[in-house]
Chain A
Amino acid sequence: MTSLVYINGEHGLVKSAFEAVTYAKKLGGDVIVVSSGKSADLGKLGEYGATKVLVDSSLEKIDAQQVTRLVAAAAEQVGAEVIVFSHDLVAKAVAPRLSVRLKAGLVSGATSLPDTANGFSVKVNVFSGKAFGSVSVKTAKKIISLLPNSIQPELNGSACPVEEFAGHAGEASIKILEVKIPEGNIPLPEAELVVSAGRGLKGPENWGMVEDLAKALGAATACSRPVADIGWRPHHEHVGQTGVAIRPNLYIAAGISGAIQHLAGVNGSKVIVVINTDAEAPFFKAADYGVLGDAFEVLPKLTEAVKKFKASH
């Protein structure tokens, strides 16, 4: 069996790329990577199990239709049975297109390897993280878009050859005018540690405490929906059922009540710490560790404790 992994190499290799290659390796058989652009050190993907990388380096600022044509051409060339994406913005545009083009069933947001005992079924989050579903794919070719942080990248081999590949991707119909990625930002969906705060923080001027803790831990910051709605924090930090769904190793929530819609987006977190003044806050029921106290006092103390710990480890 051969699987094909699409890696967006335009902004360098990120952890989710290693996760996708590791996932494909665990499917068994050969793992071929297809990519575009010039920037990334694509041979490194061999260390996670890729046999070979096909790259069309002439393509830059590539749009979803071009990626679709590129991946379809590569899939045909290598005879791929399974195509793996990391479930990011590009995959959300390309994987559905490719599904129609190749008549291949698509599993979006997969969190497990396929169960092939009886057909081919993959576990996904449904109801915004309130449950898991098992999706069976009925087509011969299959596409899996893997949710970030669902699998640990595993080293498995050494750097692999990178070959030039003519993707015949055609012209772009979507023009990328600008890419704004704030310096030093840890992207929320990929973050392993997240510090989040809600209306209990009383105002945007108090977010220094949240940022200090995040910085001490090397964590990303997040917030509850009302906090983003009133403009205390940017929309992309809003987590929950109608915001970003995340599954970090550690989620620290200060001054968030734990409404059902908030929990939906974060209860895939491995460990949850809740800081709240109200012993009845529903979030404590979903927490592993609870601190009944004032975030204004607890957050600075926790930051100090983290700094002390980091200094001695």
Chain B
Amino acid sequence: MHNKNHKIILKSHGENSFLLLSLCLLLENVHKMKILVCISKSPDTTSKIAFTDGNTKFDENGVQYIVNPYDEWYALVRALEIKETSGGTVTIITVGTAADEAIIRKALAIGADDAVRIDAEPTDAYFTAGQIAKYAKDNSFDLILTGKETINYNGSQVGGMIAEDLDLPFVSLAVKMDVDGSTLKMEQEIVGGIQVVEANLPLVVSCAKGMAEQRIPNMRGIMAARTKPLTVIAATPEEAFTAYESYVLPEAKKACKMIDPNNMDELVELLHSEAKVI
């Protein structure tokens, strides 16, 4: 809506367009945000999950890494949408080793302006969040976005930890986010429903499904990504609070018992007396 209005005014007023645009932005209370999007790598969703070294390490053999879907599809794309309507910048940040630069380039190809890599193995959420919070503190952002969780460790921890480190409000699992000046109105998934909340910038938000639609990078984006700035920063020494000691795979299911589609009474009876779930 707002965009359309701008275009009409720009057409009819030629050289004064810059002034008018600035005026419109002012009148409509548009806030140019500096947005930081935290991204993590995760194994491609079709990867075979296996472990090595006596089940103490994830077996990376043949594993393709992707940008964690929640970070890419929802946090990054929503950040880009905000930039497209109100201006501002989108910086991505990851804590990882040089091997992670492929996923950083992917995020840049989708449209982020620049990237920061904190050069360390992300040992646990506390360590990772501490690194990001430190960078954010030194570079003051209006909005920090994360995905809802990573699909490998599913911790949902980093966003809240960054917020506590920076003493900022944190809205978890937002599925919708509307910007009105420096106020954000958001919807969150709560057990069995939706909660509508409002908070002022600066803010940390974790993003879930509904927030935005996945974008596929185009050729131009991919080319541009090669030359976008990527800053590598040394990590700050910090201890980890937790560690993964070992892993196990779920036990294989025993063979599936096939039931005659015309005999649902038998299925119900089995669910009751054999499986004991109803």
Contact = CB atoms under 8 A, between A and B. Distances in A.
B227 interface: no
A288 B192 contact: no
Interface string B63-97: 00000011000000000000000000000000000
Contacts of A192: 277
A309 B269 CA distance: 8
In this complex, the member of A99, A267, A286 whose beta carbon has the largest number of chain B beta carbons within 10 angstroms is A99
A302 B267 contact: yes
B275 A298 contact: no
Task: Place the interface of chain B in its size category.
Answer: 35 or more
Contacts of A89: 172-173, 188-191, 195
A273 B257 CA distance: 9
Contact of A93 (B43, B160, B253, B270): B160
Contacts of B200: 173
Interface stretch (A26-34, A48-56, A158-166, A239-247): A239-247
B30 interface: no
Contacts of B160: 64, 92-97
A155 interface: no
B98 to A, nearest CB: 24
A77 interface: no
Point out which of B158, B242, B243 has the most chain A C-beta atoms below 10 A from its C-beta.
B242
Contacts of B139: none
B271 A182 contact: no
A125 interface: yes
B49 interface: yes
A245 B194 CA distance: 18
A174 B264 contact: no
A241 B45 contact: yes
Given A288-B253, A301-B264, A305-B265, A174 B157 contact: no
Interface string B246-266: 111110011011110110110
A305 B268 contact: yes
A277 to B, nearest CB: 10
Contacts of B153: 126, 133
A176 B158 CA distance: 23
B28 interface: no
B197 A302 contact: no
Most buried by A among B125, B154, B195, B197: B154
In this complex, the member of B51, B155, B161, B199 whose beta carbon has the largest number of chain A beta carbons within 10 angstroms is: B155
Interface in A101-119: 101, 103-109
Interface in B5-21: none
A264 B151 CA distance: 10
Contact of A185 (B154, B192, B246): B192
A139 to B, nearest CB: 5
A250 B277 contact: yes
A284 B156 contact: no
A250 B275 contact: yes
A57 interface: no
Contacts of A150: none
A245 B154 contact: yes
B58 to A, nearest CB: 8
29 contacts: A88-B190, A89-B195, A92-B160, A93-B160, A93-B170, A96-B156, A96-B158, A97-B161, A103-B241, A126-B153, A126-B247, A127-B43, A135-B245, A137-B242, A175-B197, A179-B193, A179-B196, A180-B195, A181-B192, A228-B209, A236-B194, A242-B45, A243-B209, A271-B275, A292-B261, A302-B267, A305-B267, A308-B268, A309-B268
Q: Identify the 7 closest CB pairs spanning chains A and B, nearest first.
A: A96-B160, A293-B261, A187-B192, A105-B241, A181-B193, A305-B264, A97-B164
